[in-house]
Amino acid sequence: MGMIKKTNKFIAKSVLLIVSLNFIIACAPIVSNITDNLARNLSDAVLNQEDPQIVRDGAPAYLLLLDSLVAGNPENPAILSSASDLYTSYTAIFLNDAERSKTLSERALKYSKKALCISYDDSCRWDDYSFDDFNLSLDDFDMKYSDLLLTYSTSYLVYIRSHSNDWNAIARLPYIESALEYYVDMNPETENIDSVYTYLGILSTLLPPALGGDYEKGKRYFENAIEFSGDQNLSAKVEYALSYARPLYDRELHDKLLLEVISSDPVKKNYTLLNVIAKEQASSMLEDADEYF
């Protein structure tokens, strides 16, 4: 029962898991034939938006547009991956409806699996592989498809979060952790590495230590996320407090991290949207801290 409660807590909590700096870069294929600058400008406008509601209201239109592009280009990995990225981010950030989250996360995962399957044939069979066979397959993975691997991993995590009662889904967590660790090993200096470290920190602290959770490794991952972002990614501190400090009842660290988030200026290039949401979550966590601890 302890493991179930801990797992459900991870899956159900309102985290910024899967919120990576890929959000709305997903729309790049839409405008790539017009101008690359427009794609980049659109991405920057979203990442630097201080009002999450504007993004919430605008994103569904792009979801529909990407669906139409997928329908017209069903074998295009770039478009499939872009659609998965946006569905994943929208589900993780904005949806509170359980049934809608299930539906949209299923679509995100379907798109990411197909994008990877088209590009790397062995991945078509990953769902049937044992954990050892999966890792052997990763050893042969062509890292020119690393972005597709990250999209696959993050979409799977949101899918698991939305299907918290499905133990077949939860059983995939070790596979996803392995895929993300492989991604970090192969891309140690990639632009969004701080987000990947945050995901790994959460995965490492998913279970209590007695059941295999590695909290020291999780701590290192969270600290790496903060360091590699230049202390600009406030969501990493929120996750550090939520996934590490709370389960270990480290009130001092918990409050320190959240107070740092609340006192920080959220306006940081390419982090503003995520930071605004992180500050809201930090305030909420501090309000109920006495009740938790």
Looking at the whole model, is its pTM more than 0.85?
A: no
CATH class of 22-187: mainly alpha
The residue among 253, 259, 250 whose CA lies nearest residue 286 is: 259
What is the mean predicted confidence (pLDDT) over 186-208?
86
What is d(CA 76, CA 62) in angstroms, rounded to the nearest whole number?
A: 17
Tokens 């959460």: give the residue: 202
The Cα 158–Cα 163 span in angstroms is 9
pLDDT greater than 70 at residue 23: no
How far the first Cα of the chain sits from its last, in Å, is 21
pLDDT of residue 215: 95
68-107 per-position pLDDT tens digit: 888 988 998 988 988 898 888 888 878 888 899 999 999 9
CATH numeric code, 191-293: 1.25.40.920
pLDDT of amino acid 16: 42
Q: CATH 1.25.40.920 occupies which residues in the chain?
A: 22-187, 191-293
Cβ-contact 293, 251 below 8 angstroms: yes
Q: How far apart are CA 224 and CA 19, in angstroms?
A: 17
